[in-house]
Amino acid sequence: MADAPSDRFHALTPEALAMMDTIARTGSFAAAARELGKVPSALTYSVRQLEDALDVLLFDRSSRQAQLTAAGTELLHEGRRLLQEMDAVANRVRRVASGWEPQLSISVEDILSIPTVFELVQAFCEVRGGGGGPGACAADGPGTRLRLRTDVLAGAWEALVTGQVDLAIGVSNLHENPGGIELQPLGSMDFVFCVAPHHPLAGAAEPLTDAQLVNYRAVAVADTAQRMTPLTFNLLPGQDVLTVPSMRIKLEALLRCLGCGFLPEPLARPHLEAGTLVLKPTARPAAVAEMHYAWRADRAGPVGLGRGLQWWLKQLESPTTRRALLERHAGPLR
């Protein structure tokens, strides 16, 4: 019987777990001993030591084969998992030493092209994995874990400023920079005012005035900021509002004639062309969003920014990538 809990900890070594795995895989102590370059008696002694430390029987002694008991099966199952995790930890330590971040968090503004974002994610995973098929990540790859989130309006800037993300794609330049944050232009996105064909405003005289719009429900996307003052655009005092969590849900609400509102022109375009939405000019100036991408430069280590963040910034330097993020919401980019 084990003398103390520490005996169990000392007994459960990677070598002991690997020995258990080899015995179970080869089916006998003799075969396992040959593979490990030991004599069978040495393996038998090691197994008995492990059993004494754990105070359980791991193998059925009445069987001529290396037959695991229920306790032995559980140890084998958990032991294999632990060995895999140990390998993963060792690999991640080596990757961090090579300059790749263990984790990279990215906020993407809700109005940007989701297909383009996932094309970038796929390309990044291929750089990490070095091949091996869909979803694979080779052991010698950088192995940076990605965390993606979508934010609306001030929410993306807040996530960056508060350290929740390392990179924010689609922020405005209207916020005060507390320092340590770099900002680069992404491009501009036009917004258009849309209603469903059967909405009362669809046949109204143009341009639509605020005095007309205030009488109809607006659909608005909620700012995801929790601490900063949320931003609100194009809503009139006293106007009824349906608040939704994303621009794509706002689009669905407009298609269902649940209200009216502004949409990014690239997102609205296929529906305007199909006639499922109607564009209505307004008396107020056309809305244009000037968008940027920003990152935490103050998180750079002694050798500079992590290689994962560097990769994303390199992609965002491409005018084609920036344009696709702004415009390619559906189908090929024109």
- Do 70 and 196 have their domain in common? no
- Do 168 and 198 have their domain in common? no
Q: What is the pLDDT of residues 212-261, one digit of tens each?
A: 999 999 999 998 888 777 777 888 899 999 999 999 999 999 999 999 99
- Do 301 and 168 have their domain in common? yes
**Has residue 332 got a pLDDT over 50?**
no
Would you state the pLDDT for residue 5?
56
**Has residue 19 got a pLDDT over 80?**
yes
Would you state the pLDDT for residue 131?
43
Would you state the pLDDT for residue 140?
44
Domain count, the chain: 3
Residue 334 lies in a domain: no
Distance CA 127, CA 292 (A): 25
- Do 195 and 175 have their domain in common? no
Residue 333 lies in a domain: no
In the chain, the amino acid numbered 280 is: K
Residue 182 lies in a domain: yes
- Do 198 and 280 have their domain in common? yes
Q: What is the pLDDT of residues 34-70, one digit of tens each?
A: 988 999 899 889 888 888 888 889 888 777 777 889 9
Helix (H) or strand (E) run with residue 254 in it = helix 247-255
Number of alpha carbons in the 13 Å side-chain half-sphere of residue 1: 1
Evaluate the omega torsion of the peptide bond into residue 207 and state whether it is cis, within 30 degrees of 0. yes
User: What does the DSSP 8-state code read for residue 138?
Assistant: -
- Do 135 and 220 have their domain in common? no
Would you state the pLDDT for residue 228?
75
Phi, psi of 278 (to 5 degrees): -120, 130
Q: What is the pLDDT of residues 196-215, one digit of tens each?
A: 999 999 999 999 999 999 99
CB 132 within 8 A of CB 153: no
Distance CA 168, CA 106 (A): 6
How many residues are listed for the chain in this entry? Answer: 334
- Do 108 and 232 have their domain in common? no
The domain that holds 142 is classified in CATH as 3.40.190.10
Of 27, 62, 96, the residue that ends a domain is 96
Q: Which domain holds residue 112?
A: 103-186+290-327
Of 96, 115, 142, the residue that ends a domain is 96
- Mean pLDDT to the nearest integer, 295-314: 78
**Has residue 289 got a pLDDT over 80?**
yes
Q: What is the pLDDT of residues 152-161, one digit of tens each?
A: 988 999 889 8
Q: Mean pLDDT score of the chain, rounded to an integer?
A: 84
- Do 276 and 322 have their domain in common? no
pTM (two decimals): 0.68
CB 225 within 8 A of CB 164: no
- Do 300 and 181 have their domain in common? yes
- Do 275 and 209 have their domain in common? yes
Residue 221 lies in a domain: yes
CB 234 within 8 A of CB 287: yes
The domain that holds 248 is classified in CATH as 3.40.190.290
Residue 312 lies in a domain: yes
- Mean pLDDT to the nearest integer, 115-139: 69
CB 208 within 8 A of CB 200: no
Q: List 191's β-bridge partners, or say none.
A: 264
Residue 178 lies in a domain: yes
Of 96, 122, 138, the residue that ends a domain is 96
With vertex at residue 124, the alpha carbon angle to CA 248 and CA 177, rounded to the nearest 5 degrees, is 65
* Residue 66: strand, helix, or coil: coil
- Mean pLDDT to the nearest integer, 134-140: 44
Report the phi/psi class of residue 229: left, alpha or beta, with left for phi > 0 and alpha for psi in -120 to 50: beta
Residue 127 lies in a domain: yes
- Do 174 and 302 have their domain in common? yes
